Amino acid sequence: MSDETDTYAQDTAQIESDRQSLTIEHEKKAESENLKKTVEHYLTTHSQDAWLISGLTGIEEQLVFLQAKQKEIQEKEEALKKKLRKRYLLFPKKLKDATKQCSEGKVAHKKNHF
């Protein structure tokens, strides 16, 4: 009978141990389900954030493109200013030459017609 009692005691102890393990696993499962619900709620609540992040990427790409265009415009503007400065500096000489040609033309015209 002693063997049966020992076996019974071992079986009872094993059943109690299994119940405790099962209880612990149920608690872990409940905790995981609560965490899952929390994460799902967060994702649902913040779904706009994902859209904003993907939109931000597009905006950043557009900004890089616009910065490149702005640099290109500035370079063209500088080249145009340089060209205009040259013309502006040459203008007095060209005006003087044109005035001289007009004066010479008037003198030659007067000589031919009078």
Question: Biggest alpha carbon distance in the chain?
Answer: 159
Amino acid at 74: Q
Rounded Cα distance between 25 and 46, Å, is 31
When pLDDT is cut at 50, 70 and 90, the band that residue 108 belongs to is: low
For a pLDDT cut of 90, what percent of the chain falls above it?
Answer: 49
Mean pLDDT in the chain? 87
Rounded Cα distance between 6 and 2, Å, is 6
* 60-91 pLDDT per residue, tens: 999 999 999 999 999 999 999 999 888 888 88
Structure tokens at 39: 């994460």
